[in-house]
Every structure is written in C-alpha cells, then in structure tokens.
Amino acid sequence: MEPQDNRLERKMKFDSAFNSILTTDKQDYPNWVAGIKMAAAKDYVASSPIDHSIQFGRFQQSEADLPQMAIPRLQEVFKKWSSTSMDERVEAMTEALRQLDIQRYRLAALVSLSAGMNEKEAMFEVDRLIEVTEALIDEAAEAPQGRPTGIWAVLGSYNSPLAGPLSYAFAAILAGNVVFLVPPKECPAPVYMAYGLIAKGPMAEALSLATDPVGEMRRNLMDHPDLAGVAVCGSGEIVDEAMFTHVDEELGFVAEIKGMNPAVVSSIKDLDAAAYMVLESAFSYSGQRMDSCSKVVVLSKVFEPFLKALLNAAEAFTVGDPADSTINTGPLASPERTDEFLSLVKELEGHVVHGGKAVTDGFLHDGEYVRPAILVGLDDDHEFNTMDHSLPFLSVQEAQDLEDALDKVHACETGVSVGIFSDAQEEVERFLAETKADVVYVNSSNNCIAPGTKARLSAFQS
C-alpha cells in the first residue's frame, strides 16, 4: 500500500475528497443479493447528521422475507466460492485491497459525512479496514486452513460504520464462506461505496448487501435455519438480538461488543493530563466509538482534584461541524440518538455536572449536536455504572482503594478495553493481572484501539 502521507498532504487530500463527496449527486441504492440488483417496495432517505440537508440517496427498506428468498441463492454461491482455492480468494481480496487503498480519502470523506466523524476518526476507520485486510491476506498465506462453514450474517452499527462490518465480512469471505451484510441503517453509504469498489468477479456474488431500517428482515435473517453464523460489531439492539440468537449452539458466533470501556484513576501526579485523556477516550466521536469510555472510577485520595481537572478539560472540549479541524467532536449518528440522549439527561437530573444539552448555535441547528454529559454521584448499581448506552455520557464513580476500584470495573459491561492511570508500578501490575479485556492500556487515551479485533479466518472456519 502507499506510504502514509504527511499531515498537511493528508488534510489537503481529505478536504478535496470531502468537497467532492459533498457535491456528488444523490442516487438510489439497491440491495445486492448474489450479484443481483434488487429493490424493495419501500425505501428511505439517508441524510447526514452534520446537516440533514445533505442527503446521500434512497436505500431499501428490505422486505421481511428477503432472507427466505436470498438464502437458497447464497447456498448455490457458497458451493462455488468454497470450492475455489485459497490462492484464488487471496487474489480477489488483494485486488479489493488495492481498490480500497486507491479510494481511501473518498471513503473517509463519506464516512465523515454520513456518520459525523471528524477527519482523524474517519481516516482511522478506512486505514483500519486496510490494515485488517492486509492481516487477513497474511493469515491466509501462513496459517493452516480449516473448512468454510456456509452463509454468515454480518451486522454493522454506527459505532464503526465501515471497518467493523467489512473486517468481519472479509474474514468470512476469505475463509471460503459467503456473507449477507446488513450495514448500519443510520449511515449505510460507506459500505455501499466500498461494495462498488470491490464487488468484482466472484466477490460480487460472495458478498450480498441489504439495508433494513426497521429490523424485521435482520431478525428473520438471524433466525434462518440455514445460516452458518452471525458476526456483529457494535452496540445496542443489534447486539442484544445477536446475543439472544446465539443460544443455538450450532450457530457460529463472533461478537465485538462496545461495552463501557472503563478506566481507573489512582496514584498519578499529572491529573490534568489524565483528565484530558479520559475525556478524549470518553467523548471522541460523541461517545459512539467502539472504545468510548463511559465510566471512570477514581480513588478517593484524588477524586476531588481529578473531578476539577476533568471539568476544566470539558470546558475546552468543543462540539461542532467535524469538517472544522479545530473541533473535538461532531454530532450523534441520528435524530433518534439525540432524542434518547436528551431524554436520559432529564432522568439523570441532579447528577449531570457538565453538558447534557443540545447545541444549536448558528448552522448547527439542522444537525445532531449535543454537549457531552459528565455524571457524578450515581449509586454503584445504577445502570449508568453498569451498562453502556453508546452515547456521550461519562459517569465518574468514587472508589475507596484499588481493590474497590477493581470491583467496580468488574461490575460493569467491560467491552473491548480497560485502562488505568497510575504512576505506581505495583498498582499497574495488579491491574494488568486482575482485569480482562481485548486491550488493557496504561496512562494513555484509548483512541488507538481499533475495530475488527476478532476478524480472523479461523473464526469463520471449522
């Protein structure tokens, strides 16, 4: 792949791509099943959470019985695709990788516009997909291969609108399976753009694509008796439904679940730096990233000074148009997410010590902008100390000592990461020994954590 551009070149290329995508005519997007274009009786318009006047076109409101029609076709495709050699699959995936790399800036610009990510976050999504694809190709060349299992459903969410779903789709396809991918209803355009780049030759049949804003088709897909497995990356309803589906022991299941990604603040001298990194971990991409921290457990000995530092950092944390490079975070993914956030703020009255309001200044009135909320004083068993909501809330929870802090970490849905801020080596060693997550970090923001952590060929083979 091409060398990484320097910061100025990267910004110029991204801005050029952003303006190009912004002025591109909207279009209609069909479903694609086994390489065949399909439309539904109803469709819906996808618009940008940055400004709803920015529309990408019409997507299909898939019929609930689409899986019943599609699965027999995909079974025939599976017979052909699974019989191809690994060398043939690698060749097809290598060409797909080349096309993605060529269009990486346009893809990132579309991620930004459709999901509300800023340039850094959007480029991270695209570069992560490229990185995972390269790793999968390397795995295909080095690891002993199992047997493909059949048709996989891959379910996407706004938490990672491109890298998440396509990482798992690519792993399943390179392993010899075929994939029925349901992109996030709020921002399906990036997956469709990627599909247009990579769906050439046999790949066009191995990867099917259908939007489903209602959810009935998705539920029927997961319940189909001829499905080999389900892969899901994200949060909310789709994850809950997939977890319920997993009660069938014969069904393959790969899940990357957001969770609370909690952090602990203990014996650290530079509380200002720790506060900034916690805030960045919590509120980048408006608290919607796969690694967004929604709970920080602070030892009593530093609770008051840390909270003061956190609130000071929050005052300087800016919300606005993600095209503005001086802005820290952009909008929520959809009007529904904004309504949910503001409704929850009302329920949490008395515990919100910062933020929790809609931002409608100037031209922001037609977007989904809110000021992230910091919560203090909630009971230990309160849902905002135990469950993730994938919204820009950060609960600050007090602990008496490290043992108490560890108990509070273990009492919540951890997700993909846990972290600690401490200068005491013995505390760090204990934390590392007693916590479990895909990533455990020390004295840093967790924004380097990437989606697709479980995208391996072996996860999709028997």
Stretch 443-456: mean pLDDT: 92
309-323 residue pLDDT tens: 999 999 999 999 999
Mean of pLDDT over the chain: 94
Rg over alpha carbons for the chain, rounded to the nearest Å, is 22
Q: Is the pLDDT of residue 248 over 80?
A: no
| β-pair type (178-182, 151-155) | parallel
Please tell me the distance from the alpha carbon of residue 285 to that of residue 17, in angstroms, as a whole number.
20
Report residue 247's pLDDT band, with 50, 70 and 90 as the boundaries.
Answer: low
| Cross-strand bridge partners of residue 375 | 352, 395
What is the CA angle 125-131-132, rounded to 5?
90
pLDDT at 231: 96
Please tell me the distance from the alpha carbon of residue 212 to that of residue 210, in angstroms, as a whole number.
7
Q: Which residue has the higher pLDDT, 362 or 337?
A: 337
pLDDT at 21: 92
Q: By mean pLDDT, which of 180-184, 363-367, 428-432 is the weakest? A: 363-367
- In sequence order, which residues have a C-beta less than 8 Å from that of residue 3 and are 6 or more positions away? none
Q: Which residue has the higher pLDDT, 321 or 448?
A: 321
Please tell me the distance from the alpha carbon of residue 273 to that of residue 293, in angstroms, as a whole number.
16
Q: Is the pLDDT of residue 1 over 70?
A: no
Report residue 246's pLDDT band, with 50, 70 and 90 as the boundaries.
Answer: low
Q: Is the pLDDT of residue 444 over 70?
A: yes
Of the candidates 336, 331, 325, the residue with the CA atom closest to the CA atom of residue 54: 331
- pTM, entire model: 0.95
pLDDT at 144: 73
Stretch 421-429: mean pLDDT: 97
Q: Where are the alpha helices (DSSP H) in 143-215?
A: 163-174, 189-198, 203-206
Stretch 5-10: mean pLDDT: 82
Structural domains in the chain, CATH included, are 7-259+451-460 (3.40.605.10), 263-442 (3.40.309.10)
pLDDT at 4: 56
98-151 residue pLDDT tens: 999 999 999 999 999 999 999 999 999 999 999 999 999 999 988 677 899 999
Percentage with pLDDT > 70 across the chain: 98
Q: Is the pLDDT of residue 260 over 50?
A: yes
Q: Is the pLDDT of residue 2 over 50?
A: no
Q: Is the pLDDT of residue 426 over 90?
A: yes
3-class secondary-structure state, position 113: helix
Largest CA distance in the chain: 64
Q: Where are the alpha helices (DSSP H) in 392-457?
A: 402-410, 425-434
Report residue 244's pLDDT band, with 50, 70 and 90 as the boundaries.
Answer: confident
